[in-house]
Chains A and B, each alone.
Chain A
């Protein structure tokens, strides 16, 4: 999927995550801020990278402000932000593992 504009999803409420996806050249840049970063930072980054691969996003800047969200919440917010950024109205559900 091609990132064409800024896409935002989620919130800064507890157990949620605010994800911002921006157009970016030359690969993927991930900026992660999480109150659980010391413990789960590696896991969250891996989740973000896997999700970007699933949706074939090769170029993007991804900012994730995590408020102790579950993995499934982070993934849902990231997928939504990507779809908004790619102006994709309907998800390709088969791509979402």
Chain B
């Protein structure tokens, strides 16, 4: 879980200007979309544009993902054929209801990897969970493939299926978020929250991002570049948090050298769970451009 995925920016796969420039906003992950944002008449052109862009453009170390169409559509297999050859870091599977649907995509990817002489397993997977069935199957989905590096909540379809709507406080998503988060953590993979659709409401976006960070999510899907900085701010540790993390790690390293896994700091016991938390804070701080003691990372 070394990669930070605080933000995953949707980029409609048929918009040439966005496909060319989206990395300048520095999301942690760029997600080129071949699915819902692309009309049926343009599936072929979006696929071809993303294919050539990924092969030609230097995205400057921004992680690249492509959301393909489902294999139950006429476009999914063609997407896999093209996109594996373009070698993004990740293929994101939409509307994942079962572990089998992950394995089907994995099998299609492996077939192309073998065909082109790419090491099997090179392309990683992300699964989007967007239905009640997907939420119920989240634990099995999370363990369906060793390629899977994360699962993501897609809320718009989900709330429709639940027979409700999205509210400001997000109470209708509490169970889905919690279940997806627990499933991801049990499998040791990332959990990414859904988009906040009202792109004019920055306060609402910030409130929701603080909520999902507190729940434990690693990041959020975003649809507008200006939401990237807002989300990163929420995930950026405060100077006090960074200082405490550095002191915690220093104290635990010193304890380790003495042959102990536990020690005290400011009169409080600290041990292994605090080590992981402190490391995560320093990783987030470093990614946010904060000067940290890199020897502790």
Contacts and interface: CB of A to CB of B under 8 A. Distances in A.
A93 B85 contact: yes
A13 B17 contact: yes
Contact of B52 (A13, A15, A73): A73
Interface stretch (A27-35, A36-44, A53-61, A83-91): A83-91
Contact of A14 (B17, B49, B52, B56): B17
B40 to A, nearest CB: 14
Main secondary structure of the interface of B (DSSP, over half): helix
A72 B53 contact: yes
B17 A72 contact: no
B56 A71 contact: yes
Given A16-B16, A72-B56, A77 B49 contact: yes
Interface string B40-55: 0000110011011101
A72 B52 CA distance: 5
Contacts of A91: 48, 82
B236 to A, nearest CB: 32
Contacts of B48: 9, 76-77, 79-80, 91
A17 B51 CA distance: 16
Contacts of A10: 16, 45
A91 B78 CA distance: 9
Interface residues of B, number: 20
A76 B19 CA distance: 12
> What's the interface size class on A, roughly?
20 to 34
Contacts of A50: none
Interface string B2-20: 0000000000000111011
B20 A93 contact: no
Nearest to B85: A93
A76 B20 contact: no
A1 interface: no
Given A80-B45, A93-B82, A75 B17 contact: no
A15 B81 contact: no
B16 A13 contact: yes
B57 interface: yes
Interface of A: 9-11, 13-17, 69-73, 75-77, 79-80, 83-84, 90-91, 93, 96
5 contacts: A14-B17, A72-B52, A73-B52, A76-B48, A96-B51
